[in-house]
Amino acid sequence: MAYKETHNRFTEWWAEVVSWRERHIKERHFVIMLALVVGVVCGFAAQLLKWLIHTIAHLLTSHFSETTGNWLNLVYPVVGIVIVTFFIKYVVKDNVSHGVTRVLYAISRRKSRLKKKHTYASLIGSAITIGFGGSVGAEGPIVYTGAAIGSNIGQAFRLSPRILMLLVGCGAAAGIAGIFRAPIAGMLFTLEVLMIDLTGATVMPLLISSITGATVAYVLEGYGAEFFFSQSEPYQTNRIPWTILLGVICGFVSLYFTRMMFKLETLFSAIPKRWIKISMGGIILAGLIFVFPPLYGEGYESINTLLEGNTQGILDGTIFYGDRINPWSITAFVACLILTKVFATTATNAAGGVGGTFAPSLFVGAMTGFLFAYVFNLLDFGITLSQKNFSLMGMAGVMSGVMHAPLMAIFLTAEMTGGYNLFLPLLIVSTLSYMTILAFEPYSIYTMRLAEKGDLITHEKDRTVLTLLKIDNVIERDFIEVHPEMNLKQMVTVISQCNRNLYPVTDSEGMLKGVVLLDDIRNIMFRPDLYKKMHVSRFMAMPPARIEVTDAMDKVMNTFDKTGAWNLPVVDNGRYVGFVSKSKIFNSYRRVLKHYSDD
C-alpha cells in the first residue's frame, strides 16, 4: 500500500514537472538539453559494457597458453550462450538480438518507442556472450542500448514521435562514439545506417550527444586511440593501383559476408526447437574457436597484433603455433579466418547469443587487407606493400561494404586508430568497396530483412513517409455489408440507409465474395418488378484487387497504380476488414509528411 501511494505521488509530481517544462522551455532548446543528458548516460553505458566484456574475458582466458591450443575454448562459448539464453528467456522475456535492425524497425514501425528493459537487456546479454567467447561485436548492443535510453528519456517527457526518432539517433550516436572514442563516426552512423536525415534540427543534437559520449570515454580511458597504430611506412602514390584493387576485393568480401550471413540465419531460423539451435550453434562456434582462437570474442587483439606488425603473432595460442615461421601456413590460416568468421558470428547469434556485426566486419576487413599485402609481398612484384597500412584500409573497406556506410567507415577507422595520414587510401578503398557491393546488393546487412518486409525507412522522403504510414490508420470500416442471397429490394433498402456507393458482399463467415457498385445497379434500382427476382449474387462484381491487412503501404500504392482503382477492399486471409481509398492515403500522406519535415 505504501509503495502504491509513493508511486502515485511520484507520478503526480512528474506530471507537474512535464507540464512546467512544456510551459517554460521551448521544445527546440529542450531537445538540446536532452541530447547532452543522453550523451552522458550512453557514454557511461558504453564504458560499462567494455569493462564487463574485458573483465569476463580476462578472468576466463588470462591463464591460456600461447604455444598450444586451449581446450577450454570448446567450453566457454557454449556456457556463455546457455547463460544468455536463460537470461533472455526468464528475465528479459523479449528478443534483443540484431540490435541495429531492431532500432531501424522501432523507427519505422513503432514510432521510435523502445521498452525500458531494452536499456539494459542487450548490454548484459552481450557482455556475457562476448566475454565467454561469442564471435560477435559489442557495437550493435550498445546502439540498441543507447537508442533505448534516448527513446525512454523522450517518452518520459511525452515528446512526439519525430523528437523520439531524433533522441533514438542521439543515443545510438553516443553509444558508438563512447565505445570507439570516435565522435564523428558516431554521428555518421546515425545518418548513414539509421538513415536519420541531416537537417538544421538534427545536426546539433546529434553532434552534442556524440561528442559527449566520446568525452566520457576520453575521461575514463584516456585520450589514446582504440587500436594502437603507428604508421612506420608512408603511403606512396605508386600504391594507388593496388589500393584500388583492394577496394574491389573488399567489396566482394563484403558481399560474401552479407549474403552468407543472410543464408545462414535463414537456415537457423527454420529450426523449430530452441535446444537444437543452441546445440548446433554451440558446436559450430566452439569448434571454430578451438581451431581458430582469433575468432574468440570481438577479435580486437588479433587486429592489434596485425597493426603492430607482429605477423607471426596471429598464430599464438593455436594448434598451428609451430608453423609461425612458414609464410604459407600464415596465409592459409588468415584466409580461413576470413571465410569462417561469418559462420562463427551467425552461430553465436542464432544459438541465442547477443551481439552485432560491427566488430566482425572490422575483423574480416583487417584480415583481408593484411592477406592482400602479405601475399603480394610473398609473390614479389618488385614493390613492397605495408601490411599494417593495408590492414587498416581493409577495415574501412569491408565495414563500408557490409554496412553500406562509406563515410562512417572512413572516419571510424581513422578515429579509432589515429591513421589520419592514410585518409586518401581509406577514401579510395571505402568508396570502391561500397560501389562494388552496391552493384550486387542494394541493402546493408542491417536492412535486408526489413526491406524484404517493407519496413525500411530510407532517405527518400516518399518511401519514408509511406513506411511511416500504417494501413490500420487508413482503413474505412463504415461500409454496410450485404450478402449474396439478398434480393434487389433488400439491397435498395440498404442503399437508402447510407451515403456510400460501394458495398462489400460477404458470406455468413465474413469472407469477401465481391462488391456491389451503385453505378452498376442504378438502371434496375427503380424497377419493382425485379425486386424479388434479382439477387446480389447476380449483380455483384469482383474487385480489381484485394489488399491484405499485413501489406506494406508502398505495396498498397503499387496495387492502386496497377489497377487504377480509387477504392480497394482490405481482407485478413480472405475475411473482409474494410476499404482503403487512395484519397484517404493521400490525406494521411500529407499529414505525416508535414509532421516528418517540420523542423
**Residues contacting 188, CB < 8 A, separation 6+:** 405, 407, 408, 411, 412
Helix axes 387-403, 358-379, angle to 10 degrees: 140
- Please tell me the distance from the alpha carbon of residue 181 to that of residue 175, in angstroms, as a whole number: 10
Hey, is 511 helix, strand or coil? strand
When mean pLDDT is compared across 8-22, 137-151, 255-269, 448-462, the lowest value belongs to 448-462
Q: Are strands 475-476 and 567-572 parallel, antiparallel or unpaired?
A: unpaired
Model-level pTM greater than 0.85?
A: no
**Residues contacting 288, CB < 8 A, separation 6+:** 135, 295, 340, 343, 344, 347
Cell triple for 237: 602514390
**Residues contacting 331, CB < 8 A, separation 6+:** 371, 374, 375, 378
- Please tell me the distance from the alpha carbon of residue 281 to that of residue 74, in angstroms, as a whole number: 12
DSSP string, 153-196: HHHHTT--HHHHHHHHHHHHHHHHHHHHT-HHHHHHHHHHTS--
Q: Are strands 567-572 and 547-548 parallel, antiparallel or unpaired?
A: parallel
Q: How confident is the model at residue 595 (pLDDT cuts 50, 70, 90)?
A: low
- Please tell me the distance from the alpha carbon of residue 340 to that of residue 364, in angstroms, as a whole number: 10
Q: Grid cell 598451428 — which residue?
A: 320
Residue-wise pLDDT tens digits, 48-97: 999 999 999 999 988 887 777 788 888 999 999 999 999 988 888 877 77
Give which of 186, 370, 164, 360 is closest to 256, Cα–Cα.
360
Average pLDDT over residues 572-578: 88
pLDDT for residue 548 is more than 50? yes
Residue-wise pLDDT tens digits, 97-120: 776 777 777 776 656 788 888 889
Please give, one letter per residue, the 3-state secondary structure of 217-286: HHHHHCCCCCCCCCCCCCCCHHHHHHHHHHHHHHHHHHHHHHHHHHHHHHHHHCCCCHHHHHHHHHHHHH
Residue-wise pLDDT tens digits, 170-204: 999 999 999 988 899 888 888 887 766 666 677 89
**Helix H or strand E encompassing 146:** helix 139-156
Q: Grid cell 563484403 — which residue?
A: 254
Tell the burial category of 500 from Cβ atoms under 10 Å away from its Cβ (0-12, 13-18, 19+): middle
Average pLDDT over residues 15-30: 85
Other CB atoms within a 10 A radius of the CB of residue 327 amount to: 15
Of residues 107 and 248, more confidently modeled: 248
Tell the burial category of 288 from Cβ atoms under 10 Å away from its Cβ (0-12, 13-18, 19+): buried
Phi, psi of 419 (to 5 degrees): -90, 50
Domains and CATH numbers, the chain: 15-221 (1.10.3080.10), 237-453 (1.10.3080.10), 463-597 (3.10.580.10)
The residues pairing with 547 across neighbouring beta strands, listed in sequence order, are 570
Residue 458 confidence (pLDDT): 47
Residue-wise pLDDT tens digits, 200-239: 677 899 999 999 999 999 999 887 777 777 776 778 888 8
Average pLDDT over residues 428-434: 95
